[in-house]
Amino acid sequence: MKELTYPFDERQIRALKAGDAVEISGLVHTGRDKFHKFFADGGKIAVDFRDGALYHCGPVCVKAGDGWRVVSAGPTTSVRENPYEPKFIASSGVRIIIGKGGMDAATLAAMKKHGCVYVQAVGGAGALYAASVKRVAGVDLFEEFGAAEACWHFEVEGFRGVVAMDAHGNSLFDKVASASDALLREIL
């Protein structure tokens, strides 16, 4: 298990390999469909994503006193952000994208160029990921997009995942898919 702590160091990120299990701690920002479109359309918020992490997640958060309690925070499917992600990686300087199901070749190429990895979170593990959020540091775009599409700033501890796409151009999904395809052809 490799431990990664915000701010994420470019050398450490580039050294990761597809298949490495990781535990992420520190600041993680959520962003999904509306967030990506907002940035693609030139929108701006006062958040510095440089050396940070972006999590494809539409959490369920409820008001608790002055702050927020995170009820569920599992990953959402990442492919929907394919059209936006290469540009976002290039312009934001983000080091880690967290999501589910992997992303396309253009995103993989952008990760290689700019030093970024894709971490697969475990689909369905919403309760556990919610518990790994130690503090909600803030939220942007909440009024505009609502809780599920807002950009939440989570302080996480021991957030578990697996590097599925690394900064060397390797995708674990592609590797497993072609190997299993070959095995299937063998047994059919």
Partner 1 sequence: MNTVEKLAGLIRETSSSLPEDVESALAKAKRREQGGSSASVVLGTVLDNVRLARKLGSPLCQDTGTLAFYIDASLRRKVSPAVVKKAVALATTRGYLRKNCIDSVTGKSYDDNCADGAPVIHYVDWVEKGCVRLVLKGGGSENMSRQYSLPDSTLGAGRDIAGVRKCILDAVVKAQGFGCAPGILGVCIGGDRATAYEVAKEQLLRSLDASGESSDAVLRRLEKSILRESNSLGIGPMGLGGKTTLLGVRIASRPRVPASFFVTVAYMCWACRRGSLKFKV
**Catalytic sites, residue numbers:** 36
Applying CB under 8 A, does 1 fall inside the site for partner 1?
A: yes
The CA-based angle 161-141-45, given to 5 degrees, is 90
Residue 45 or 183 having the CB closest to partner 1: 183
Helical pair 85-92 and 105-114, crossing angle rounded to 10 deg: 10
Give me the residue whose beta carbon is nearest to ligand SF4: 124
What string marks each residue from 6 to 45 as x (binds partner 1 by CB under 8 A) or -? Answer: -------------x-x------------------------
Measured distance between the N- and C-terminal CA atoms of the chain, rounded to whole angstroms: 37
Residue with tokens 């700019």, as numbered in its chain: 114
Helix or strand or coil: residue 169?
Answer: coil
Helix or strand or coil: residue 124?
Answer: coil
Q: Which of 25, 155, 162, 170 binds partner 1 (CB under 8 A)?
A: 162
Residue 181 binds what, of ligand SF4, partner 1, none (CB under 5 to 8 Å, by partner type)?
partner 1
Applying CB under 6 A, does 77 fall inside the site for ligand SF4?
A: no
Q: Which of 124, 146, 158, 169 binds ligand SF4 (CB under 6 A)?
A: 124
| Torsion sign (Cα): 27, 28, 34, 35 | positive
Residue 60 binds what, of partner 1, ligand SF4, none (CB under 5 to 8 Å, by partner type)?
partner 1
Give the residue among 48, 157, 29 at the shortest CA–CA distance from 97.
29
Identify the bridge partners of residue 26 per DSSP, sorted by sequence position: 156
Interacting residue ranges for partner 1, rule: CB under 8 A: 1, 19, 21, 58, 60, 71-72, 74, 77, 100-102, 120, 122-129, 131, 160, 162, 164, 172-173, 175-177, 179-181, 183-184, 187-188
